Amino acid sequence: MTDRLKLGLLSEKTIIVIEFGSYFIKCGFAGDSSPRYFIKLNSINPETKEKLFPLKKTNQITEQSWIHLVNKGLNLVFLKYLQVNTKDIVVIICDDVLCPTPLKKEIIKQLFEKYQVPFVLFAPNPFLTLIPYKKKDGLIIDCGRSETRIIPVYEGVPLYSNLYYTELGMIDIIQNLRELLILNLEEKSQITKEMIQEIDDETLEDIISKIVFIRGKYEKINPNQKINKKQNELIKKLQIEKKPKENQKEMKKLEIEDIKIPIRIKEKNYNLIIKGKIRGKISDILFEGKEENEFESIIDIFIECLKSCNCDVRASVSQNIILCGGTSMIPGFLSRLREEVDFKLDNDEYFKDVQFLKGKLHFNHNKKNANYISWIGGSVIGSLNDIVDRSLKREVYLEKGSKSFQDWSNFFGYIQDF
């Protein structure tokens, strides 16, 4: 039976889209505008007691832990959360750029051998993030939990040779919070340094999501900018005017207040005070980098990536810069990024060649979807008519084994048509 005939039979079948992130597994059905569930896995393998997360290429994890991770993850996705029979579905997996190869092999093996899925498609993440924007060229800045990655995409082809990344993410912001809390402890407080070090990463991340923001260097709003009605109302509430000079005076009036947060440490309740000075500085580490480990900041990498691109690539890519990832949802991220980039382009001699880009970069940042933009791209591809033709078949895998798929997902068929 040809694949086109099978298409008719499979047109009513369910198509599932899965994205294995470094902390969450996002899963849902194709055609939906958002994933149904964000699934969090245990970070430690109970048998071998190895740390599984964050998922990185440099992590040396044994085979048993990969098997355990994939086994549990897919079991939760198919049987507990989505509740589907796997013999009649098509699975699309959003393939991360730096996905470790043993993870990929284990996923394919379990999908075809254990769950008996008939069709599987691996789609590269950078290509999928551009689909909601209906564009073929773009520069993708993915700020995740463990690292940030910047990769340009030209004519739908991800340029892996120009990929740059640093190991700076939400984990570093959490550690920075911990250090700043220890430095700013009052003498009379009931909480000690040891107690702060015992606080979970999860509670600190929760605190960050509620009260942390990123301060800009120059806080102002462009007076010539057109503003909506809703924005106008909000500005009136906060008593901000359009003129820059008066704006600066009122910025000084808006002092940042200290906040008391109730915390439970060792089965006792305490009040943790986070000072106003700290709240805007916690996430500065992303823009300043770490001196100890020589990790470059996001901005250095961003400009180097632009510099490394070919001139015809750079012209089209700089007009569509997409921010995605969970840490990019911290308020103030975009404005700080723009300011820092303009500042570096003016003052750093290393980036002289690219100085003309100042003020001409076009950013796209949708905060509500930033966690799962690539998942949306997978959902769109899953609802297209000829998905079966493009996917890897179970019969082919059972004949050829690991030779039937490549380490880097090849997507030229779609790129040609789009």
Partner 1 sequence: MLNPEANKVNILYECNCGEKVGVEDTYYCKSCGKFYCNNCTFEEIIQYYCPVSFDTFGLSEINQIQGKSQKHFECPRCSSQLSPMVENQNETISSYSLKCNYCNWTTKEIGIETENIKSLINIIIQNEKEQKITVENQKQMKQLINYYNKKINPTKNLFKYSSPRNSPLNSPLKMVSSPYKPSYLYQPISNQSLSTQFSSVLSNNPKERVTVSELENELEKREKEVIIRSKNVDKDSIIDDEIEKKELFGNIDLNESINLERKLQEIPNQPKNEKDLFPKRIKLKSKKGRLCLSCGHPLIKPDLQQNVRFKIQNFGLLELPKITLLNYPIFKTKEKTEVFIVFTNLSSTPIQINSLKFSLESSLLENQNSPTNFIVQKFQESFFQSGSPSKQTIIEDLKSSNIAIYNNKVYIKEFITLQEEIKEKFLNLRLEFNIELEEGENKKEIKLKAIIHIQK
Which residues, 252 to 281, sit near partner 1 by CB under 8 A?
A: 254-257, 259, 261-262, 279
Residue from 2, 11, 83, 269 that binds partner 1 (CB under 8 A)? 83
**Alpha-carbon distance 65 to 116, whole Å?**
22
Residue from 180, 195, 392, 415 that binds partner 1 (CB under 8 A)? 415
Regarding 223 and contact with partner 1 (CB under 8 A), the answer is no
Regarding 238 and contact with partner 1 (CB under 8 A), the answer is yes
Question: Where do runs of H (alpha helix) occur along 110-147?
Answer: 125-130
**Alpha-carbon distance 155 to 316, whole Å?**
10
Subset of residues 93 to 112 that bind partner 1, contact rule: CB under 8 A: none
263 and 199 Cβ atoms separated by less than 8 Å: yes
Task: Select 290 or 365, whichever has its Cβ closest to partner 1.
Answer: 365
145 and 326 Cβ atoms separated by less than 8 Å: yes
Cβ atoms within 10 A of the Cβ of 386, count?
A: 13
Question: Where do runs of H (alpha helix) occur along 264-372?
Answer: 276-279, 285-288, 298-308, 311-317, 333-347
Name the nearest CA neighbour of 123 among 101, 104, 98, 96. 96
CB of 291 to partner 1, least distance (A): 27
CB of 257 to partner 1, least distance (A): 5
CB of 365 to partner 1, least distance (A): 5
Regarding 246 and contact with partner 1 (CB under 8 A), the answer is no
Type of residue at 48 = T
Regarding 11 and contact with partner 1 (CB under 8 A), the answer is no
Cβ atoms within 10 A of the Cβ of 369, count?
A: 15
Using the contact rule CB under 8 A, the part of the chain among 92-100, 179-187, 215-223, 300-308 near partner 1 is 215-223
**Alpha-carbon distance 169 to 201, whole Å?**
13
Task: Select 125 or 283, whichever has its Cβ closest to partner 1.
Answer: 283
Regarding 356 and contact with partner 1 (CB under 8 A), the answer is yes
Regarding 398 and contact with partner 1 (CB under 8 A), the answer is no
62 and 50 Cβ atoms separated by less than 8 Å: yes
Residue from 247, 308, 366, 404 that binds partner 1 (CB under 8 A)? 366
Subset of residues 12 to 51 that bind partner 1, contact rule: CB under 8 A: 24, 31-38, 40
